[in-house]
Amino acid sequence: MSTIEPAIDPGDEPLADAGSAPRAPAAAGRPPVLRTLIRREFWEHRALWMAPLSVAALLLLGAIIGKVSFDSSLAALPEQRRALFSVGMSYAAVLHFIVLGIIMWMYAADCLYTERKDRSILFWKSMPVSDTLTVLSKLLVVMVIVPLGVYLISAVTTLLTSGIYLVRAWQGHTGGVFWDTGTWLRMQWISLIAVVAGVLWYAPITAFLMLVSAWARRSVQLWVFLPPVILIMMERIALGTHHILDILLYRLGGVFTHAGPAYPAFGAGASQRPTLNLLIVTVDPLPVFHNIDLWVGVGVAVLLIVATIRIRQYRDDT
């Protein structure tokens, strides 16, 4: 007695082997995780790019319709003309760096708190993204991408501003404005080194802000200022000293004391202190990298970032 073999549809064979056949990963066509995390920061914190661009727009608008001009005819010697040009470039860049400091402070104190406040942390924790990579992406934004971005915006702004002043000078609206490529390149090099030195010098403060942002359930700025104030008061009351205050003040402003020649604030040499214009021209941020305090601060920042990662692993406010 013959048996009838069931007909096999060739189209069914791939289905039978579907469980054993390897498949290409579905995420092969998606962008890298780190790039997505970085884009997320700029989507959620638009001040990171809007604030520097707004400052650049205001500077350009001021150069076009403003009354301020840098008249090099007031400087007789070539050295004085280069110094005047450096001062003009520096004042334009200083505004960007002030905004950079404000942006870094506000973002570092808010980046890990906001995701818990709006519950978006629940979504990201459900994704195959580690807490380490999430925290490091925010650290990369605040300590690398934004500072370099602000530096580039500042460089382009000073270049365009100088061009606007040159055009106005040719039209007879200002005095003898001139352009010095060597001086401009020197100022951009000094600005770049200053940005790198500043980011490293303030790294422990940035890491502390991120630590508080990951830990505090509310009132982040209050928790940022409250512990140092309590420690300073306790030391003053119990010991009568002010070492903690000195350390904080040194960390907040010490980078400026190492970025140029030392001039006494009081005493016989105080009258020989340079003007702000000369100080801007003679600034040199390279000695900051030779200071052991900078690298000690970087080590403290690493420990604080490790603690921040550990806190985020268990703090989601659910």
pLDDT of residue 1: 47
pLDDT of residue 102: 93
SS (H, E, C) the chain: CCCCCCCCCHHHHHHHCCCCCCCCCHHHHCCCHHHHHHHHHHHHCCHHHHHHHHHHHHHHHHHHHCCCCCCHHHCCCHHHHHHHHHHHHHHHHHHHHHHHHHHHHHHHHHHHHHHHHCCHHHHHHHCCCCHHHHHHHHHHHHHHHHHHHHHHHHHHHHHHHHHHHHHHHHCCCCCCCCCCHHHHHHHHHHHHHHHHHHHHHCHHHHHHHHHHHHHCCCCHHHHHHHHHHHHHHHHHHHCCCCHHHHHHHHHHHHHHHCCCCCCCCCCHHHHHCCCHHHHHHHCCCHHHHHCHHHHHHHHHHHHHHHHHHHHHHHCCCC
pLDDT of residue 71: 56
Task: Please state the pTM of the whole predicted model.
Answer: 0.76
pLDDT in tens, 216-267: 888 888 999 998 999 999 999 998 888 899 989 888 887 777 665 443 333 3
Q: Which residues of the chain fall below pLDDT 70?
A: 1-31, 67-83, 124-125, 171-178, 258-283, 315-318
